[in-house]
Each structure stands twice: as C-alpha cells, then as structure tokens.
Amino acid sequence: MNRNVIWKVVLILAVLVVFIVAIIPTANNPEPIKRGLDLKGGTHLVMRVNVGDAVRLETDQAAETLKTQAQKLNLPSVTTRRVNDSTFLAVVPAGVSTADYEKIAKDFLGAYDVSRTPEGALQFKMKTASLTAIERDTIEHAVETIRNRVDALGVTEPIIAPESGNRIVIQLPGVDDPARVKDIIKTTAVLQFRLVEGSTGADAATTLASVPENMKSEVDILPGTREDELGRPVGVEYYAIRKVVPVTGTDLKSARVQKGQLGQPNVGMSFTPDGARKFGALTGANVGRRLAIVLDNKVMSAPNIKSKIEDQGVIEGQFTQQQAADLALVLRSGSLPASLTTLEERTVGPSLGRDSIRQGVLASLIGFIALIAAVLLYYHGAGINAVLALLLNLVILLGMMAYFKATLTLPGIAGIILTLGMAVDSNVLVFERIREELRDGKTVRAAIEQGFSRAFGTIIDTHMTTIISALFLFQFGTGPIKGFAVTLLIGLFASVFTAFFVSRVIFDVVYKPEDRPSTISI
Amino acid sequence: MQIFVNTNYDFIKWRMAAVVFSLVWILVGAAFYLKNGINWGIDFAGGANIVLKFKDKVPMDKLRADLGDASIQQYGKPEENSALIRLPQLGREGDYAGATVAKLVKDLNPESADPNKVDLNYHGRDRIFDLLFTADPDARGTNDAAKKYYADMAQNIINKRSELGLFTNMSQVSSVPGVTANDSRVINQRAYPGAFNVLNQETVGPQVGRELQMKAIWAVILSTLAMGAYLWLRFDLMFGFSAIVCIVHDVLVSLAFLFMIRGEFSLNIVAALLLVVGYSINDTVVTYDRVRENRRKLKQRMTLEEQLNLGVNQTLSRTILTSGSVVIVLIALIIFGGKVIHEFAWILLIGVLAGTYSTVTIVPAVAIAWNNLTGRKHDISGPARSARVEEPRNEAPAPRKRKAV
C-alpha cells in the first residue's frame, strides 16, 4: 500500500479513537454529552432587573444627604421632591440664597447635574455616566446574589448570565420544584430594622391618625399580619414605621432556622461587629419602644425592646419549616439591589424529558437503519463505504459535542439524524459521478479520481448553503434551537471530512491503484 | 441498483404548468391564512402553556370553571390523563403559568389547606427531605450522615416520581427502595399524592414574544438574501436571482402547508423554515453546477432551455437520491419522533420535497424568463464562441478554477 494512504488510514483511526474516548462515560464524567433542559428537565428563566429601583434609592439617598448636610451647616431646611427615578427637586425657602446648597451639591453630590427651574427650585439630575454605572453595578450585584442563592439551593451546573436590555438569563437543570426556586430567586429580601411610631390600626388612615403631627411626614405606613392571642393570623394591620433605617440586612453575619418557644420555626440571625454596634445603639436608646422587622416592605413582627441587644436577633412570623429555611437562605445570600420581573419561563418536568429522549432516540435509530438499508441496497459495495463514513461521522459529531460541551436538545437529536441524512448526500454526489464516469468508459481508478475531484466543488457549495442557514439559526434561536444549530454545524463539518476524505481513503484501500482494478461494486 | 439513468424528460415544457400548480398551492395556503389567520404559538403570541398529568381522568369541567379564559385540551392519548392548558397573553409581564399552577394546586387538592403538608406530585426533593429529616422516623439523629440518609431517600422518591410520571397512591411511595415502614407512616401522615404533576410549564411575556417575532422574520429574510448573495458570487446574477425565487417558493409552499393543516407557528417551525432555506437549495446548486460544466464543454449551438433540460436530466438521479436520503430520515421522525418535533419534521419534509420540485420546474422557469428579458445572453450561440463561454458577468470575483459535477 502506498505510504501516503497508510498515513491517511492512521489519521482516520486516530480521529476515531480520540472521539470515541470523548464519548465514553467515565466515573468523573458520567454524562459526556450534556443534555439540555428539554431532555433533562429543568427551568429556563429570563428576568428583567428593574434597575429603576436602584436608581430611585440612590436619588432618595442623595436628597437625604442634601438635607443632612444643610442641617450640619445650620442652613434653613429644604423640602425635596423626587420627579422621576433619577431626578429630584429641592425647594429652598423664599429669600434664602441657593449658593450654599449648590456648594453642598458640588462637594457631596458629584453624581448629579444641578440646574435651576423657572420657579427658583434646584433640580438635581443624575449624570448619564453615573446612571449607567449604577445600572451596570445593579445587574452585576443581582447576578451575584442570584448565583449565591442558586448555589445554596444545590442546583448543579446552573447558568446565570446577564443579557442586553437589563436582563438575566437563568438556567437551572434538574430543578424539581420550580415554584419554590422562582420564589427564592425573586425575593428581594431587603431586611430593615425600623422604629414604630403611634399604634397599629386596621387601615392605613387610622394608623396615620395615631402618629403625632410633627412625625407624620417622617413615617411610612406598612402592612403586617394581625395575629390573635394564640399567634394565628387573622388579617392585616398597618404600622407607622419611621423612614430612617438604622440597621439593615447588610449588617447580618448569618441567618439560620431555629425553633421558637412553641416549637414553631423562626429565623435567628447574628450581626457583624459593625452591625452589632449599630443594633446595640438602636436598642439601647429605645428601650420600651417597638422595633419593626421589615422584610420587603412588609412588617414581619414588631416586638417591644426590653433591653439593649447587641449580637443576636430573631425574626418571627407565620413560617412553615420550609419558608423559614428559605428566608434564612435569602438573608444569608444578601438582598437583591432591585426587583425582578419574569419575562419568560420554560420549565420541563423530568418525566416529559424522559419521554422526549425515548421518542427522539427511537425515531433516530429507525431513521438511521432505514438510511443504511437504502444506501446498501442502492450502492452495494460502495454502500458499505458510505455506511462506514456515516458511522465515523456520527462518532465525530458526538465526540465534538462532548469536547465543546455542547448541549444535546430534542431538536438536536433530530439535528443529528438529519445531519446524517445530509452526509449521505455527499456520498451520493460522489458515487453518482463515479458511475457516470464509468459509463463514459473510464477505468475504475480514473472514475474514482474523477468522481471525487469533480464532486468536491459541489459538495462545498451544498454545505456552505446549509452552514449559512445554520448560522442564522444559531443567531436567531434560543435554548433548544441553538442546540439544534450547533449539532447541525458540527455535523456539516464532520460530513465534509467523512464523505470526502474518509470515503476516498476507503476506496484507495479497497481498489488499490497498483492492482489496476477492473470492476467496482457501486 | 440504478434509477433515472440517461433520462431525457422534457421538464422545460411543463414549467408553466408547474408555476400554475405552485401558485394554486400557495394561494390555497393564503386563503387558509385569510380565513384563520396565523395560529401563533406561545413563543410569539406570548401567554402561557401548562401541561398537567392527572392521577385520574382529567377534571375538564373543574378546570374550565376554575380558569375562565383558558383553552383546555386533552394532551396525548386519553389514557395518559394529561391536559394542555393554554392561557392567552395578559398584556403585562409576570410569572403567569406559575401563578396558575399554584392556584390549581390549591383548588384541586383539599389537603393543601395545611401549609405544612407536602404534595408529593408537586413539591420537590427539598420539601420531602425536610419532612423526613424533621420527623426523623428512622431515628438517625441530626448529624451529616442522617442528612445524607434522608436526602438520598428524598431523591429516590423524586426519581420514582419521574419514572412513573406521578404517584397515584401512597403504596408506590412505600415501595421506593430505602423507604422503611416508619418512613411511610410519617409520609402518609404529612404528605399526600396531589391531583396532578406538572409536565411542562411555559410563560412568554409580551415583550419577549414581540422580539421573537421580529427576530424570526428577519432571520428568514436575511438568510434567504445571504443564500442568494453566496450563489451570485459562486455562479452569476441570473442564478442568484433564480435561487432566491426558488427559496421564497419553497418557504411559501411550506408555510402554505402549515396554514392548511392549521399548525401552530412556533420556534421549531421557524427553525424548520430556516433549514428549508439552506437545504432545499442544494439540489438546485447541483443541477446548475452541471449546466455550467456543460457550457464549458459543449461545442454545439444550444439555447438556455436545452442546456437546462440537459442539466436537469443528467443530475436527476442525484437530485432524487439526495432528497430521498433526507426524506427517509424525516419520515422516521414524523412517525416516531413524538409530539414536540412532529410539525417541525412535517414542515421540513414539505420544504425538502418543494425544493426538489422547484429545482426541476421553478428555477428553470425563472432562469428562462430572466434570459428572455436580458436578450438571451445565456444561450450558447455556436462552436465559434464555445472556447470562451461567458463566465459570470458581474463585478464579483470569478469563481476559482474548479470542476463541476
């Protein structure tokens, strides 16, 4: 045999070995080809991060800063009003110069452009650069927090990736309780410790009426659960809660589920050293008053402060064991910087995935066997050649998917078998050309040579057109469709190699030029 | 075995009949479209799809009463006890399917009134673990080994559920490997097999739906144009144009079929259409390659009509066979592939068949019309010019030296 041919055979065998190794499951890698969510079961979520929340918070804080600094400098106090998420107005009392306030803005509020409205108020508008920075930070922070939570849930190989348009794509394979997971991801978990004013009432107006006149503008009215003497929920009541937030969830060191006096679950927490100092100062100065524990703008409980507390605290509420565990989890993983809105959700239960695999594989096997039968029937000896090329194509396709960590989806399974159908096309092009050359009276070797070289351009063209559409498919598609496009692309490249190179080598080995073959089974 | 050897059918003669046939087909599809509109799937229309598998017969009346504006159909065979619930788009974003499922869990399971009870067909591994670990029926304590013991048991129970589809009675739970008599007693007390298991739930908000619609339309249009441009570069303007007409034809024929069967226009259908764009053109490329090869070789006077007829006949067996291999596979997918890819495979099948059909009829028709309009430049005038048959006349780089099939 020609040395050149021997080297080619060696190359083909090497390729075969390399890709077979890639697809054999091992102890470390029991699933060499990853199944997509549609086959494995799991949840795909697209969430929008409402970055406006974070911007609004920033703006509120800026307004607060302006007031406190003015107070420090003994300037007459201003009233502020937020116009939109990134803009607020400060109305300076009549007859007072705005220059001092503008100086505060220059020193402390660098993120805002200050201008004067026709009415003489100062308008603070967040600079575009700051706005973009906040939005970027918010998304990053949200991704980080969601990752912490998902990791704490023990989801294996999650994907959490930011996308354009303030979106986050979350893929959670194998999730078996999507409702709970979504709740955990979406909980903002902003925990605050704030003092209660006045008394609670059955509606917001009653509660507000109980607040002293001078404090009315300093409180928020927030809902909480009304409980009877036995601690059972019996309705809603409203609290007047001070706007000032002395201690927040960021001051927590850890949170865990524990049992209350009656055996009901609650969440125990401990503070960081800094948090403990703040909490100590707050409780020490307000013994006898009520302290509200506010979670996501709902009052969880509002116990009386009996003495100064420094390092420990308890959140009580109407929790089931699971709810308490989930709350502890979200508190540990930190609060989200902004709320999330679900734009898209696709959840496939594991049993549906199982059915899909069974049907997909069955259809593919039957298609594959039919294809092999047709090729053998039509091309006899050369058909064996085509079948070998096809098998190698399958091995390369699966092996490449394993190497590239491409995911196998249900359309992807269809893609594999479709690719094999297309790979046969290339063999057909070559074989038909060889037959034609034979009819023209060429020798077997000449017909093989001519068949391959003349079919080459056509094979490239037909592959190029399909590759172009596969690229558009990839660009367009989501999840399963992308998996399909990837399978198709890999398969197309593999089929150029097998139909053109491998098939040729097989002919060269079977019909050696030095034997001067006079017949060919085709 | 060989078929279609040395054929000499006069395809060109029938081209006008074919054009009429295609137009009628497409117009019938258009009529269906005008009558019924597009049956947009959830991917594009937005809304929610929920597939539930019930323990017993699907409680259709209850579901209908509970979910006012939803469409509820049986999913799969009646004995599968499954239902597909489709909720129209609400016009605002939110976890629509999730909220509906939560409502159904509450309404269909009287046991759900107790929040501490676990629904074995709805809740997941963690809830079951929590139940077992807290109750500790096997007296394992609270160490890590105990945690693992109960976590494995919970996982086994969930695996059993995936295998069965759902639990229909508690004895199925008791028979899970590792579950002791004590465990099943506790599970019996604190858990129950709910009325249904969620096979699948999807929500697509209005924003994502709109974006996908635009993306789908652009993907089909741009890939068609890209294909035409590629073929223009490789061949000539006439062929590039004919190819685009051919692709548009194949896509329209497939779409018309979708409208006729009132199929749902989903992401998978767009994937199929994109593939039709890329694949149905293949045999056209093969045929035209041969036409070009002939033009280099042939010494006698020949009109474009004759050249096309010769090329189509010479490559006929290839055209039929290449499509045939894909058709074999598609038929297998249609029959055995299951619900999810059924329509996808049908559209591809029609597209591939349309591609083969248009190669021997529509493409020649367009090319001949083009040739007639541009002064018959593609005829071979005679032996004198055959030494240098015109190559593509456009500004594109001349094709590399290659031999054609």
Chain A nearest CA to B16, separation (Å)? 27
Mean pLDDT of A296-315: 84
Same domain, B131 and B181: yes
User: For residue range A173-225, what is the model confidence (pLDDT) as tens digits?
Assistant: 888 888 888 988 988 888 888 999 888 888 888 888 888 888 887 788 999 88
Size of interface A-B (CB pairs under 8 A): 263
Looking at the complex, does the CB of residue B199 fall below 8 Å from at least one CB of chain A?
A: yes
Q: In this structure, is residue B392 part of a structural domain?
A: no
Looking at the complex, does the CB of residue B41 fall below 8 Å from at least one CB of chain A?
A: no
Rounded percentage of chain A residues whose pLDDT exceeds 90: 24
Same domain, A309 and A452: no
Chain B nearest CA to A371, separation (Å)? 6
C-alpha A274 chain-centroid distance? 33
Residue A90 CB partners (closer than 8 Å, separation 6+): A63, A66, A78, A79, A80, A101, A121, A122, A124
C-alpha–C-alpha distance, residues B347 and B344, integer Å: 5
Q: ipTM above 0.90?
A: no
Is residue A405 scored above 90 in pLDDT? no
Chain A nearest CA to B80, separation (Å)? 12
Is residue B23 scored above 90 in pLDDT? yes
Token pair 């065979």 in the structure block, residue: B77
Q: Which residues of chain A have a CB within 8 Å of the CB of B234?
A: 461
Same domain, B297 and B257: yes
Q: In this structure, is residue A43 part of a structural domain?
A: no
Mean pLDDT of A349-376: 88
C-alpha–C-alpha distance, residues A224 and A210, integer Å: 17
Query: How many CA within 13 A on the CB side of residue A20?
Result: 8
Q: In this structure, is residue B332 part of a structural domain?
A: yes
Q: In this structure, is residue B254 part of a structural domain?
A: yes
**What pLDDT does A350 receive?**
80
Same domain, A369 and A453: yes
CATH number of the structural domain spanning residue A315? 3.30.1360.200
Locate B253 and state its tokens.
Answer: 């024929």
Mean pLDDT of A356-373: 90
Q: In this structure, is residue A154 part of a structural domain?
A: no
C-alpha–C-alpha distance, residues B116 and B189, integer Å: 11
**What pLDDT does A81 receive?**
86
C-alpha–C-alpha distance, residues A181 and B359, integer Å: 52
User: For residue range B81-140, what is the model confidence (pLDDT) as tens digits?
Assistant: 999 999 888 778 888 888 899 899 999 998 888 888 899 999 888 888 888 888 888 888
**Of A304, A319, A345, the domain-final residue:** A345
Contact state of A454 with B404 under an 8 Å Cβ cutoff = yes
Is residue B387 scored above 80 in pLDDT? no
Kindly report the average pLDDT of chain A as a whole number: 87
**Of B150, B171, B203, the domain-final residue:** B203
Least confident of A4-13, A71-80, B29-38, B239-248: A71-80
**Of B174, B203, B232, the domain-final residue:** B203
Q: How confident is the model at residue B157 (pLDDT cuts 50, 70, 90)?
A: very high
CATH number of the structural domain spanning residue B21? 1.20.1640.10
Same domain, B114 and B220: no
Q: In this structure, is residue A522 part of a structural domain?
A: no
**What pLDDT does A1 receive?**
62
Locate A454 and state its tokens.
Answer: 């003349």
Looking at the complex, does the CB of residue A257 fall below 8 Å from at least one CB of chain B?
A: no
User: For residue range B348-366, what is the model confidence (pLDDT) as tens digits?
Assistant: 999 999 999 999 999 999 9
User: For residue range A485-506, what is the model confidence (pLDDT) as tens digits?
Assistant: 888 899 999 998 998 889 999 9
Contact state of A351 with B115 under an 8 Å Cβ cutoff = no
Looking at the complex, does the CB of residue A100 fall below 8 Å from at least one CB of chain B?
A: no
Same domain, B367 and B218: yes
Q: Which residues of chain A have a CB within 8 Å of the CB of B297?
A: none
Same domain, A253 and A266: yes
Per-residue 3-state assignment (H helix, E strand, C coil) for B339-366: HHHHHHHHHHHHHHHHHHHHHHCHHHHH
Rg of chain B in Å (alpha carbons): 30
Could you tell me which residue, A289 or A30, shows the higher pLDDT?
A289
User: For residue range B310-347, what is the model confidence (pLDDT) as tens digits?
Assistant: 999 988 888 888 888 899 999 999 998 887 788 889 99
**What pLDDT does B382 receive?**
56
Is residue A19 scored above 50 in pLDDT? yes
Nearest to A458 among B123, B202, B286 (CB): B286
**What pLDDT does B400 receive?**
46
Chain A nearest CA to B61, separation (Å)? 25
Same domain, B341 and B213: yes
Least confident of A280-284, B259-263, B301-305: B301-305
C-alpha–C-alpha distance, residues B119 and B101, integer Å: 13
SS3 state of residue B119: strand
Q: In this structure, is residue A496 part of a structural domain?
A: yes
Chain B nearest CA to A4, separation (Å)? 24
Contact state of A349 with B328 under an 8 Å Cβ cutoff = no
Q: How confident is the model at residue B381 (pLDDT cuts 50, 70, 90)?
A: low
Q: Which residues of chain A have a CB within 8 Å of the CB of B332?
A: 363-364, 366-367, 370, 417
B328-332, Cβ contacts within 8 angstroms, sequence gap of 24 or more: B328/A367, B328/A370, B328/A371, B328/A374, B328/A421, B329/A367, B329/A368, B329/A370, B329/A371, B329/A417, B329/A418, B329/A420, B329/A421, B330/A367, B330/A418, B330/A421, B331/A367, B331/A370, B332/A363, B332/A364, B332/A366, B332/A367, B332/A370, B332/A417
SS3 state of residue B271: helix
Nearest to B326 among A179, A422, A472 (CB): A422
Same domain, A209 and A102: no
Chain A nearest CA to B333, separation (Å)? 5
Q: Rounded to 5 degrees, what are φ and ψ at A290?
A: -95, 140
Mean pLDDT of A271-291: 90
Query: How many CA within 13 A on the CB side of residue B65?
Result: 6
What does the angle CA B59 – CA B65 – CA B70 come to, to the nearest 5 degrees? 90
Rounded percentage of chain B residues whose pLDDT exceeds 90: 28
Q: How many structural domains compose chain A?
A: 3
Mean pLDDT of B55-60: 89
What does the angle CA B208 – CA B211 – CA B215 come to, to the nearest 5 degrees? 135
C-alpha–C-alpha distance, residues A441 and A356, integer Å: 51
Same domain, A383 and A508: yes
C-alpha–C-alpha distance, residues B400 and A60, integer Å: 67
Contact state of A472 with B166 under an 8 Å Cβ cutoff = no
User: For residue range B210-236, what is the model confidence (pLDDT) as tens digits?
Assistant: 888 888 888 889 998 998 888 888 888
Q: How confident is the model at residue B35 (pLDDT cuts 50, 70, 90)?
A: very high
Same domain, A273 and A384: no
Q: In this structure, is residue A143 part of a structural domain?
A: no
Contact state of A320 with B270 under an 8 Å Cβ cutoff = no
Same domain, B315 and B338: yes
DSSP state of B147: H
Is residue B403 scored above 70 in pLDDT? no
Is residue A395 scored above 90 in pLDDT? yes
SS3 state of residue B402: coil
Exposed (0-12), middle (13-18) or buried (19+): which is A405, by Cβ within 10 Å? exposed
Same domain, B226 and B273: yes
Same domain, B267 and B280: yes
Q: In this structure, is residue B393 part of a structural domain?
A: no
C-alpha–C-alpha distance, residues B258 and B269, integer Å: 9
Same domain, B290 and B141: no
Same domain, A356 and A501: yes
Q: How many structural domains compose chain B?
A: 2
Contact state of B338 with A153 under an 8 Å Cβ cutoff = no
pTM: 0.81
Q: In this structure, is residue B399 part of a structural domain?
A: no
Could you tell me which residue, A244 or A446, shows the higher pLDDT?
A446
Q: In this structure, is residue B65 part of a structural domain?
A: no
Is residue A58 scored above 70 in pLDDT? yes
Same domain, B331 and B196: no
**What pLDDT does B92 receive?**
83
Same domain, A237 and A302: yes
Residue type, B241: F
Among A253, A243, A295, smallest CA distance to A274 is for A253
**Of B203, B222, B243, the domain-final residue:** B203
Same domain, B171 and B153: yes
Same domain, B246 and B367: yes
**What pLDDT does B385 receive?**
44
Domain span at B97 = 92-203
CATH number of the structural domain spanning residue A425? 1.20.1640.10
Helices first, then strands: H and E counts in chain A: 14, 19
Q: Which residues of chain A have a CB within 8 Å of the CB of B5?
A: 439
C-alpha–C-alpha distance, residues A24 and A18, integer Å: 11
Same domain, A355 and A383: yes
Same domain, A262 and A204: yes
User: For residue range A419-442, what is the model confidence (pLDDT) as tens digits?
Assistant: 888 888 889 889 988 998 898 888
**What pLDDT does A230 receive?**
67
Same domain, A325 and A452: no
CATH number of the structural domain spanning residue A67? 3.90.1070
Domain span at A20 = 3-36+350-515
Q: In this structure, is residue A180 part of a structural domain?
A: no
Q: In this structure, is residue B16 part of a structural domain?
A: yes
Looking at the complex, does the CB of residue A347 fall below 8 Å from at least one CB of chain B?
A: yes
Q: Rounded to 5 degrees, what are φ and ψ at A36?
A: -75, 175
Is residue B281 scored above 90 in pLDDT? no
**Of A107, A131, A155, the domain-final residue:** A131
Is residue A53 scored above 60 in pLDDT? yes
Q: In this structure, is residue A502 part of a structural domain?
A: yes
**Of A328, A345, A362, the domain-final residue:** A345
Q: In this structure, is residue A196 part of a structural domain?
A: yes
Q: In this structure, is residue B402 part of a structural domain?
A: no
**What pLDDT does B53 receive?**
92
SS3 state of residue B93: coil
Same domain, A444 and A366: yes
